[in-house]
A and B are shown apart, each in its own frame.
Chain A
Amino acid sequence: MAKRHLDVEKKLIGLADIVIAAAGKKKDPAISIPVRSLSNVTFNAKKGYIEMGSNKQLRTFFNVGMAKKFMQTMLVADALAELQKADLTTSLREIYYRTKHTMGDSLENTFDDQAESDPLIEDLEVGLAALREEFHVRAENAGTVIGPVVFEDDGDKVDCAKLGKGGYSVPSIVEEEYLRIKKCSADFVLLIEKGTQWNRLAEDKFWRKYNCILLTGNGQPPRGVRRLAKRLHEEKKLPVYVLVDNDPWGYYIYSVVKQGSINLAFESQRMAIPSAKFVGLSSADPQEYDLPRNVGIKLNDKDISRAKELMNYPWFQKKEWQVEIKRMLASGLKYELDALANKDFQYLTKQYLPKKLKTRDWLD
């Protein structure tokens, strides 16, 4: 059941008004959309997250380079308004299919693939200052949670301590009106990059022994997972720890959880968890935990350039982080979480994490 956001519908209709008004004045219709790129974000060190700047881009209709995008934006807005009226939720892919058709008798498609329609939805989120949930657009349920927490989802009680080793699939929309946190007795949240390592911990009942909630987003965590971690952190005051591979992409996943992403900078406030901690894998771990060099993987050119980019981001300027990344570059190697299995199948559960948590060996 979706909740109707009247003001969102109004905002969408406002786009039609822009076109009508411009046409009446014989002017080129234009929508202003905030720029979503590194150049238009700033790191608010005080708040600890990334904020969007004020740069905007005008998307005009009668400009050969933008005409198609403008037309497509109007079609997406139309489809989103339709969802509001019908009070339904849908996926990005369904929006794409809904808006795809040939134009007139030309056989030219409005959209050729989904990659054209997805960014337009983000454009509208930013441009109209609305949230994706308010647009009634879900992402895929790409996350799983297990641990001593009880949710209420559409009236059903979900006790995440009684779901075997499979856990509960995190819905893409986890706002209060969709998902209530009824009870939570955990001490902390552990967010794991990889599903395989989450499985290891769930199977070993790590969460029971250490009284924590295990979350994974299978790679870059989707909004639902990030938002759920944020709510557990804010509402239940649980500290959040992040466990990722030791490579530039792992570092960035951690930073997205902590400070927010460049692309969705306007949502940082709702998503970012500035006090999240990085437990591993750190570039210091191979030595600390005696991982042999041969379970490392050589950094490729992309890894190296990405790592150098990260070092330039304002939110990676802390001394420890510069040291961390430099150490990885100096070694020339990256390590996967899975590499810990080289020592023992349960090394992660029985040795690595307990020691990390006990010695509070993490980065902030």
Chain B
Amino acid sequence: MKTPTTDKPRPHGKTADEMGKQQREISVSEFFTKNRHLLGFDNPRKALLTCVKEAVDNALDASEEAGILPEIVVKLEPVGVGSAPAPAASQATRFRVTVIDYGPGIVREVIPRIFAKLLYGSKFHRLRMSRGQQGIGISAAGMYGQLTTGKPVKIISRTGEKSPAHYFEVQIDTKKNEPIILEKKQIDWENHRGTQVTIELEGKYQKGRASVDEYMELSAISNPHAKFTYHGPDGETKVYPRTIQHNPDPPKEIKPHPYGIELGMLLKMLQDTKSHWLSGFLSTDFSRVSSDTAEAICKSAGLSPKKRPRDVVGHEAEVLFKTVQNTKLMAPPTNCLSPIGEKAILSGLFKQIKGDFYTAVTRPPAVYRGNPFIIEAGLAWGRGPEQAALDAAKERTSPLAEGESHDGDDDELARVMRFANRVPLLYQQSACSTFKAILDTTWKNYGIGQSRGAPPAGPMVIFVHMASVWVPFTSESKEAIADYDEIRKEITLALREAGRRLGVFIKRRARAHAESKRRDIFELYIEEVVGACKRLKAGKLSESKLRTQLTDIAKKITGGQKTDEMLDRSAGPHGLPHSIIVTAEGIEGAAIIEEPPATPAAPPPPETRTKPAARKAPPRRSSPKKTSGKKKK
């Protein structure tokens, strides 16, 4: 290359001034437009699921917080592009998602911001167990719909029979992260109370794993107190009835535990606090810090207890932070957690999964990084007596050929159901702490096969639920639980207990099976041996005499084992806590399926007085009265 000009050493460099001019603010909404995968909108199929999920999560949270038994309708409709007619569900690229609840409704003023402003919500700022955490979900779903179809989010909400229903069409201004109201009016609505959200979005519907169908099924398992009606896009309607007639105990809000915060958080709290003294700040804004402890902390940090919190900055704040971390404090209170409970898990699994054995374990509360949490595990095992009977009937018809075996589907792997605060987790299974704990568990100890690096094999469903004020997800799209040691340990302990019970069940059943088989087998073999002897002796043999003699010996030899079996039977079967055993004869153990109380049954809008509970709304309305139908207090 011949370049005659050599006097330009920096051909394209920019000056700091030029670079400075390029700097500008990035709005959250713009950021998420470009990073939609962070929120679970990576592909059309997942986008459809995420949209349903966010709307249902909000509906459940709102109903529960208002003390109303949740009842939720989910409707998916394929939509044609432009003026084209709606294609079949499997071909469609656009869907209209409608989620209706009969919950508390939302006050008119906050509706636009709830549905068309990111990072706006009631749940982020408080430590209280709920499905939603950040206030991104539903508005992100709306934004995704807006980006892919140009259609606004349509909302109808009504806070009570005497209030009017409000209809809104809103969009998000992606630059300013503020709602744009396209339409608002009062309308007539057949529902007396509740909220209906409609979002049109680009999506793909496909049955199977991680589908909306699966999400509905799993939600019904983890929320046995809710009734779901699901209108699938192919015209199918599934109703998941309520099997428990009361809401879970409302979780309490707690203050952060000092072990769970980081320096930046502490700095922010120091600025925001209403306390005038440092010691007062410590004892009122944190849980498990008494005024004595607060004084002691100040002392060892070398700070005056009467110092104004706002003045604690820089090095002093760092020292304070370190001191707090090194102070012995009680674990955070755990009444802020509302586990599903063993009975409800059993009931949910029993309702949705066909099996022979069910068990559930709720662990005592534990703590990671200052956040309390509870792990629950459940197992459903087997194919159910009906299927077993079918299998047996199929077997009856023909003997096995070479290479066939009795248990053909033995390489089937266990299905894992993961939940965080009752929300099903459908993606990123292998990144999830629950999945790692399942792999860590030695299922072989419980009589279940398992290959290296795989979940256990067999007709089994493994249920794991983590309830916490703050579930640590690996990403904003909330798909996998981060792998903290404390969490994995708790999951493993829960799985071991459930596995142990299953092991007892399997062993007992196998033994009973083997015992009855043993005698049958001798009978069969005797017949064969007698036949062979007769042919060998060319017919010169008293067949019946030989048969009787051999049968007598067999009885003498197996008689002892028969007694063993009887003894064993009286020793064991009912001793398994929180378990259900299903046999062809019936059900052992309590499977609670509660019928709705016969009292005034006007399901859609239950007549309970409630003040409108703003869902996701920060100017929290005076806390709604808890009025679940059952509790009278």
Contact = CB atoms under 8 A, between A and B. Distances in A.
A62 B536 contact: no
Chain A CB count within 10 A is highest, among B399, B520, B536, B553, for B536
Q: Is the interface of B mostly helix, strand, loop or mixed?
A: helix
Contacts of A157: none
Contacts of B402: 112-114
A290 interface: no
A24 B549 contact: yes
Contacts of A110: 528
Given A74-B533, A112-B400, A20 B524 contact: no
A46 interface: no
A113 B399 contact: no
A162 B520 CA distance: 61
A24 B550 CA distance: 9
A26 B552 contact: yes
Interface string A88-120: 000000000000001110111110111000000
Chain A CB count within 10 A is highest, among B518, B522, B523, B550, for B550
Nearest to B395: A107
B513 interface: no
Interface string B218-244: 000000000000000000000000000
B549 A26 contact: yes
Interface string B522-551: 111101110111011100010000100110
Contact of A19 (B520, B529, B552, B556): B529
Contacts of A106: 520, 524
A113 B533 CA distance: 23
B521 interface: yes
Contact of B546 (A19, A64, A67, A104): A19
A33 interface: no
B209 interface: no
B10 interface: no
Contacts of A113: 402-403
A67 B541 contact: no
Contacts of A114: 402
A77 B395 contact: no
A26 B554 CA distance: 10
B452 interface: no
A64 B520 CA distance: 12
Interface residues of B, number: 32
Interface in B594-632: none
Contact of A78 (B520, B535, B549, B556): B535
A129 interface: no
A71 B557 contact: no
B533 A61 contact: no
A163 interface: no
Interface in B388-411: 395-396, 398-400, 402-403
A302 to B, nearest CB: 20
Contacts of A109: 399-400
Given A77-B536, A112-B400, A23 B522 contact: no
B399 A20 contact: no
A45 interface: no
B557 A28 contact: yes
Chain A CB count within 10 A is highest, among B396, B532, B535, for B532
Contacts of A278: none
Interface stretch (A9-17, A222-230, A264-272, A281-289): A9-17
B525 A68 contact: yes
Interface string A149-165: 00000000000000000
Given A62-B522, A62-B553, A81 B529 contact: no
Interface string B502-525: 000000000000000010111111
Contacts of B395: 107
Given A62-B522, A62-B554, A103-B525, A23 B549 contact: yes
Contacts of B546: 19-20, 23
Nearest to B531: A78
A84 to B, nearest CB: 11
A64 B550 CA distance: 15
- Nearest 10 pairs of A and B residues by beta carbon: A23-B549, A16-B536, A74-B532, A16-B533, A78-B532, A103-B524, A71-B525, A102-B399, A107-B399, A62-B557
Interface of A: 12-13, 15-16, 19-20, 23-24, 26-29, 61-62, 64, 67-68, 70-71, 74-75, 77-78, 81-82, 102-104, 106-110, 112-114
5 contacts: A13-B536, A26-B552, A71-B528, A107-B399, A109-B399
Given A20-B537, A74-B529, A104-B523, 12 more contacts: A16-B536, A19-B546, A23-B546, A26-B552, A61-B525, A64-B518, A67-B525, A68-B525, A70-B525, A107-B395, A108-B399, A109-B400
